[in-house]
Amino acid sequence: MTTLLAFLAALGLLIAIHEYGHYRMAVVCGVKVLKFSIGFGKTIFKWQPKHSDTEFVIGLLPLGGFVKMLDEREGAVEPAQRHMAFNTQSLWKRSAIVAAGPIANLLLAIVLYAAVNWIGVQEPKAIIASPTAESLAQEAGFKGGEHILQAAFVNDDWQAIDSLEEFRWLLTRGALNKQDVKIQYAHSEGGASQEVSLPLSKLDVHEVDSTLFQKIGILAPWSAPTIGAIQTASAAERAGLKEGDLVLSVGSVDIVDAQQLRQTIRGSIHKNGLTSTGLTQEWLVERAGQKVNIKVEPDVKIENQTPVGKIGAYVGSVPALTTVNYGLLEGFSRAINRTWEVSVLTVRMFVKMIIGEASLKNLSGPLTIADYAGKSAQLGMTSYLVFLALISVSLGVLNLMPLPVLDGGHLVYYVWEAITGNQVSEHWMERFQRGGVAILFTMMFIALYNDLIRLFVNT
């Protein structure tokens, strides 16, 4: 229920803001707005304020919205009201009305990011876990437990790193833009600093997912290799592991943190042809001040068609946290920068998918969005606000794409009109609309297919 409510609230807010942008700019430009609708299908609620020509409607299906304006192309217009019709407005007014929807979403994202910056959010400190094997971080000499102090793209000025999420965001941008990142770190807070460079330009990035950070080598914040909640009838319970056990070694390998322990468990399998079984190993754990030897045989589970070891227990302690917040001006400035960065990254990903440099698996549909809405809402208000900001940017950028059925497509028509002095003919506009609908439905089908794969195959 939380997921559904969070999803509907997010969708309703983002659509309302988008359509309000169109509506408000139309009013400013003197265009008569006949209907403002959130949702499609059967009307479940409507009202019309006094002294207003606009009917406000909420439809049954909350999957979009529209602003219906007076327009000679859609019906007869009285001569006395012709000056209020959309189609009779100047080119710049029509362009402003169309662009106002996506711009409203981008402005909402700035407000939401700013609110998060002002309120503050608890995030893991920038202390990294053990890097994954054969990753860039491991090749650069990271062992785990390093405290990231500053980082930046090579040739850029250093910027202070306040949390692990901020550091991972910089790495994401670097990987997608093929820019190397320089890092200043210390082995302990207050310790002597060292510098190193991660050659992210070497990565062949097609998807923004867990495999990206597998290649980079930085997956999680540092946490102690302790055993948490244990599932009934799990490998951990059968072996006799107890909640609170501190794992010191697995076989002959010393364990330094939870990330290393998780990777060790995942790799503790024995492959025999087409079948795989758990590899029994001796664990040395510290329990109530005493060292105890325990034999553990992980269960084998399939993830992304690959067998991995699982023990059925939470692995790791709560990482060290820090409260990240900023003052009025810095918080607002950072919000503008983050909105711009996410917008540019979104555009580049779309371009990469179109030219085949990025996988279409990056497209997400309503099921994935609903899932993230529920998860972010359960994490707290600030996490939900960050989620809303991210989706608002995506909605704004998507609507600026030059597809005829989207706002960006109409803006392309206006660019043509500005260059040639002639409007696109209704004949060609109808053709473009059909093509745009076909492309949009194809994108929606791919996104929904990706959703189903994530939900039913990778679980």
- Which residues fall within 8 angstroms of residue 330, CB to CB, at 6 or more apart? 117
The 3-class secondary structure across 196-229, one letter per residue, is EEECHHHCCCCCCCHHHHHHHCCCCECCCCEEEE
Query: Which structure tokens are listed for 36?
Result: 């403002």
Strand boundaries in 14-154, DSSP class E: 33-47, 55-69, 121-124, 147-153
Tokens 């929904």 correspond to what residue? 448
**What is the DSSP pairing of strand 306-310 with strand 193-198?**
unpaired
The rounded distance, in Å, linking the Cα atoms of 104 and 16 is: 10
Strand partners, 286: 246, 291
Query: Which structure tokens are listed for 10?
Result: 């997010």
The rounded distance, in Å, linking the Cα atoms of 204 and 328 is: 39
Buried residues in 176-200 as b, exposed as e (16+ CB within 10 A): beebebbbbbeeeeeeeeeeeebeb
Amino acid at 233: A
Q: How many CA atoms lie within 13 A of 365 on its CB side?
A: 19
SS3 content of the chain, % helix, strand, coil (to 5): 45, 25, 30
Write the burial class of residue 250 (CB in 10 Å: 0-12 exposed, 13-18 middle, 19+ buried). Answer: buried
State in Å, rounded, how far the first CA of the chain is from the last one.
Answer: 20
Provide the 8-state DSSP code for 292.
E
φ/ψ (deg, to 5) at 296: -125, 130
> Residues with catalytic annotation?
19
The rounded distance, in Å, linking the Cα atoms of 154 and 181 is: 5
Query: Which structure tokens are listed for 284?
Result: 């040395």
Tokens 């914040």 correspond to what residue? 221
Q: Determine contact, residues 43/21, Cβ cutoff 8 Å.
A: no
Tokens 């059967």 correspond to what residue? 42
